[in-house]
Every structure is written in C-alpha cells, then in structure tokens.
Amino acid sequence: MLNYRRNLVTLGITAVVTCNLLIASLRAQGPSVYHYPPSQSSHTWRGKGGSLVFSGRALHRAGDYVLFKTTKGFEITLPVKYLGQQDQQYLSYLAGEGPAPSAASTDPRPAPAGMTPVDEPDDRVPPDDFFGPSNEPEMASDDEDTSANIPDPTLAEQTFKQGQSVEVRQDDSWHQGNIAAVRPSNNTYFVQYKVAGIPKSRWVPATDLRPVGGTGPDPVDPFNLPSTTGGSTSAETKEVTIKSQSPVGYMVGPLKQGDKLKLSYISGKWKAWGRLATESPDAVNIGGGDKCRLAICEFRNETEVVTLTLVPAETSTRPFTWTAKQDYDHILLQINDNDNDFASNPASDVKYSLTIEKAD
C-alpha cells in the first residue's frame, strides 16, 4: 500500500513538471499564428478616427498584430488596437469567436479608399506613425537646411485612392509609385516607389503627389536658387556598404569646408557586441542605444579616429545631411562601437545611399 501511494505521488510530481515544461516551451515559441479563412469576402477596414482606410482580407494574426492583403495586392501589418471597434469585432467573427457586427462591410466588390473620417466612440486615436513614419520635412539636417521640397498649396485639395498610380516628389525630381494606403484625417498617403532603382516607402502629403502624366509644380532645386556667395555645387550619389568589423567601415575621403554628405538607409543590420547582428542603425528604438548608430568620423593624424556626429534614425524617409565646417583629409563611416573592439562584432554590414555634394 505504501509503495502504491509513493507511485501516485511520483506520478503526480512528474505530471506537474511535464505540464510546466510544456507551458514554458509554448511561451518560448512566442505568440501563436491564427490563419483567417481564405474564403472570406473583401472587407473595408478603417483605423480609429479615420486614420486609415483600405479594402482587402485578413490573412493571419500573430499576437497583437494582423497581416492584411489589400485588393490591390499590397500586404499591410497593423496592431489590432488601432482598428475601429466594428473591425475588431469582425476579426473575432472571422476567428469563430462571435457574430458578425451588424454594420460590417462585406461587399465582395472592392470598396474605394474613401476620404470620409470615421467617428469611433473611443479616444484611442492611432498615433501618426502607426502604419509608418509620420510625414515630416523630407530633409533632416544638422545645419537646418530647409530650402528643399517647398510644398505648393495649390495641390493641397487633391485626393487619391488606394492602389492609384501617382508621381511622388522627392528632392529635385518626380518618381512614379503606387498608393498602398490612405490616411483621410490629414490627406496623406503611404506610397511605394523607387529612386534610382532603390525601393522607398513613406507617408506623403497630397502637396507632394500628382497623377501620372499630370501637371504639377516642378520641384524647387535649392542648388539653382540665387546665391549670395556666388558659389555652385556638384553632387555624386552611390550605394555604399559599411562593415561592422573594421574601424574604417567605409572611407569617404577628403572633404572641403562647405561640402555636404547626405545619407539615406537602404538595408542591413549589425551589432557592436554578441554573435547575432540584430539591430538596424535606422530604427528609432535600437538595442544598445548609440552603440549601433552610424557614425561620421575623422581619421586624424593617421593614428586617431574622432567621431564628428551620429546619423539619426529614419533616414530611409528623411535623408540626413551633414555639412563640413572645415577641411578634412580623411572622413570615414563606421558603426559607433565605442569600445573599439570591432573585430569581435558579428560579421555583418549595412547599406546606405551616400550623396557627396561638393561646394566649388
């Protein structure tokens, strides 16, 4: 009898331990992915406060995020909490967790992305960057250069639709792209396009868009504006690779006073410690803080590397411009690894678009 009780106790302990290990294993795997029925009808999805409108289907949910595919073929990932209340209920309905909301839009015909704000009985209006970086001036510069991309107020009343082909203004030219999503609350559009073959995507105000082949103001070229100094500039743009395991990630070369570097992030991740390169230097929140930022440095006296400035986040949407305040013999780019043990960093690199504007 005693052995029987001991066996029961042992069996109970084993069951508890096994259950705890199973729970821990499931938690370690992260949020489970739920795939929504592929037979669902096209639905018009709206963000709280009319911040976003698009038509399409929900593909799957992982944790608090849902992947959608629009009727135009674009894929969009959004946090559930920023969808309207009826759309949250509709997601529950698709998952078999409740009835369809009475006012749900399930018209199989794709509904256009309208411009009418949606009033939600909820004060949690999405932040401006819930789908992507919020729209700000195209140029972020340490010397406050704001002469480029002066908007034309005559285009402010234009409206466009999701999936529409448009031309988007960036720097000194127009580029063809497509509207992936609409933000009716401030008449801005998430546009996907290419510049010199490099994919770009960002929120763009109506003042910087025009129909393909349509008329619109020519962009203001700051280098052709009247100059009080009589000087001129020449520019060269190229894609560069900055390595993480060398103090000279990329050698820019000599710069004269007044020369400018303009940097725009393209791709890649790195890290100043550990074994895995997991950090993007262009992210707003970055592991290790400034240790994983891109640094503009001077190689001084052939022995010392001096950091001149750090390149900020979000340059993929707002290129960063740095102006040389004096003459430099050797300017270089590197990961801001302040322990100087570059050889121990994970083997990886990042790519930036680099424009060098020479002041003649």
Domain ranges for the chain, please list them. Answer: 30-131, 140-211, 230-359
Share of the chain above pLDDT 70, in %: 67
Asked if the model's pLDDT at residue 166 lies above 80, the reply is yes
Three-state secondary-structure class, residue 74 = coil
pLDDT surpasses 80 at 268? yes
- The answer to whether the beta carbons of residues 28 and 97 sit under 8 Å apart is no
Instruction: Indicate whether 238 pLDDT > 70.
Output: yes
Q: Which CATH architecture has domain 230-359?
A: Sandwich (2.60)
pLDDT of 267 > 80? The answer is yes
Long-range residue pairs from 303-312, CB within 8 A, at least 24 positions apart, any chain: 305/247, 305/332, 305/334, 307/336, 309/142, 310/336, 311/263, 311/281, 312/140
pLDDT confidence of residue 309? 93
CATH classification number, 30-131, choose in 2.40.40.20, 3.10.20.30, 3.40.980.10, 2.30.30.700: 2.30.30.700
What digits encode the pLDDT tens for the residues 59-89? Answer: 888 887 888 887 777 777 777 877 888 888 8
Is the fold of 30-131 the same as that of 140-211? Answer: yes
The pLDDT-based confidence of 226 (bands split at 50, 70, 90) is very low
Band of pLDDT at residue 34, cut at 50, 70 and 90: confident
The superfamily in CATH containing domain 140-211 is Ribosomal protein L21 (2.30.30.70)
C-alpha dihedral sign at 247, 313, 219, 132: positive
